[in-house]
A and B are shown apart, each in its own frame.
Chain A
């Protein structure tokens, strides 16, 4: 598909990461990948100032930052979404735990990403995650989802899912749209829809109400 007219403006990103080398490395790879790094902060306070001044499309924030090295980045992310709605946020986590993830998504999963920090090493995949989040999608790290899907359960309706339905379920939990699921699993969109319908009825979830709500519904189910 070719669209004439001026090239779209590059996505504007603000980075928050306290480790200098990593911050500089990130700025460089994102710049090379065609994103505009509008600013880079070393802590949450500076991040909030930069976001207020620069109004970026996307914020990329490490969860643990000074001064307490606990959840500063996460708190800043929630504040940014509250104060400047429409700003997409990707948080970088060192943990595969879901408590923080769920807190962040529960406000509104649109334009939120939660990815493991080491994902930065795969530049193509990482920038594609940033673009998806900037486009309003949710991005949940596949490893976190895989762990939730695979954990042993007693008497769960999950056991009634076919292997294919489990694949579709995992991709829904990662925040993928039907179209993306179709291309990733080499299925027709119609087949994906059939699987999604079947999954929701087997799990006893309310019929799929758009990609955003279903991420929450599916993740909440998997965490039970």
Chain B
């Protein structure tokens, strides 16, 4: 059509156009998402953090539980590896050795001093504490059903030092490495969030789906149930449940329980969204066209309704995730959720509100930064997805 362009350019223009014309909705959404810079940056950050969480064990030089604590370095400040100091350059990053003393002069508080002459070199791919990727045991009543799995066991870690400890984010009051704890906390929060969102999603899909698809009386009844569940106030509910949790429950059981509760409390919002999507889509003309061919409800749901809201649901899930993580964090922070020594971002922040910490051990706040970044990344990605998935709105007259 445009005679002023060269043949090759016209050809490649044509190829681009053809690609655009034959692009499915998924591909178009991805293309739009890619062009949103904020969302892409947030996406990478999110993937990075998720990887950090999943690969927490190999990345952490120390066992985040009490077993890995460094008695000689309690409440220690972060140790940042250096490449260069007044004694010269070194290809291998190093940190300084530390020692601690306590005396009358320091008011009987442990004071840690660094020895700048004592270089401890950081090595990579060192052998450290053992961890396994698949490690769980289910304790069922009776002996026969107990499941004990321990697989994929390794003991290589990304970095470590030859002597003493390397604590990138410092340590807490009992000497546990905050860096390791943070990484494991990301994983825990992710896991709790995922499980919670999954449970809400399944419930929301069934209830919201039925309400939206069938409409009428079924819709009214389900709506009443949804609203009833939604009006239950969350904090008192959690307090009651927290009181109910027996102390002897293992942290895994606690964890599972919290996730289930989050899921059960979070489904109404999602259900309402699904219902709205369905109600709109049901009345689209192309659905009527399918009905006029005698399509069964199954066919309509599968071929028209489900694909239509897959993109929206992915967006909704993305946006619900930070809510689940925030809820767990908030709960753990006020002591109703996961407690020390379990690592979750919330439990890590439990100690943060003491004055002592605020004045002296500011590095306790580092997990807070991670938490904020984590939630923000989800939110930006969710927003980006929503903008990209938004109206398949063609310009009508």
User: Is this pair of chains taken from one and the same complex?
Assistant: no
Q: Which residues of A contact B (CB under 8 A)?
A: none
Binding site for A on B (CB under 8 A): none
